[in-house]
Chains A and B, each alone.
Chain A
């Protein structure tokens, strides 16, 4: 009881302290100058129309590499926790007619929409993470609808690795050309696509990196779903 009271008092003190610091800033007001800089210079710095994407991939590219790494660790952790020698799908019945028909009909469109989200990340809202998650949702559909379905591991795991290595390689090429990791060499050194800002082939390496992130997130989340669905066979551990 004493411990709990102490905890509550401690939380109240921290809350008071944070509230005192934060009440100087009225809600929703922008006190940071860096955001204004990004909004004003985003087109000549990166060539992307969507400023959110430019911040995520270009200005703060290293953070995004960290996010992808965190996701990779999470996926690896799930696989390591649930690892067994022989694991198979144990569901006995297929999904209902609505689910199976919906999965068959909607699958190409969901995949197309996911690819659209990450290919057009520098033009429209979205990017690699929502696009990859949408593609993983398509595979979730397949897993729920059909009992025998299983992803092609020979295709998915190398694709995941290639996407991750490709991201780091792009960053290292930037280090070699421009002097720092994840330097946008396609936009700033080569100047490709300077004349068509706002179209698909612009914004330097942002579309390339977002395609890689989309593939990586999609395959990783699908791998997590695959690991969660499959169960070890009866008796065999």
Chain B
């Protein structure tokens, strides 16, 4: 296993961690940051997979613009997710 592949595995691992946090965090602002992190790591992964076109779109739209739109939407609504009783983790996923 060469080192480029190690980096790819690390990026995919970070993507999974960010995605889990984006779903689990109750603070929606933090969840948006987690979602943007998924896009950012996906962009780096696309770059390693030799798809710079897709990497550019993912970085500009996924990480910057959609996060901004979500933050504006949170500003107009509520910052914290409401607690739902009696619903297990399998529904949120």
A binds B: yes
A→B interface (CB under 8 Å): 50, 52-53, 117, 125-127, 129-130, 133-134, 136-137, 140, 144, 221, 224-225, 228-229, 231
Number of interface residues of B (CB under 8 A): 14
Partner of B61, one of A125, A133, A225, A228: A133
Q: Quick one: given A126-B53, A127-B53, are A133 and B60 in contact (CB under 8 Å)?
A: yes
Nearest-neighbour CB distance to chain A for B16, whole angstroms, equals 18
Q: Any chain A CB within 8 A of the CB of B17?
A: no
Of B7-15, B23-31, B66-74, B78-86, the one with at least 4 CB within 8 A of chain A: B66-74
Docked Cα-Cα span, A114 to B27, in Å, equals: 33
Docked Cα-Cα span, A140 to B68, in Å, equals: 8
Closest 7 CB pairs of A and B: A125-B52, A130-B56, A133-B60, A228-B72, A125-B53, A130-B57, A133-B61
Which secondary structure dominates chain A's binding surface? helix
B→A interface (CB under 8 Å): 52-53, 55-57, 60-61, 64-65, 68-69, 72-73, 76
Contact in complex: B69, A137 (CB < 8 Å): no
Partner of A134, one of B55, B60, B69, B73: B60
Docked Cα-Cα span, A26 to B60, in Å, equals: 32
List, sorted by A's number, 20 A–B pairs whose CB atoms are closer than 8 Å. Answer: A52-B53, A117-B56, A125-B52, A126-B52, A126-B53, A127-B53, A130-B53, A130-B60, A133-B60, A133-B65, A136-B65, A140-B68, A144-B68, A221-B65, A224-B69, A225-B65, A225-B69, A228-B72, A228-B73, A231-B76
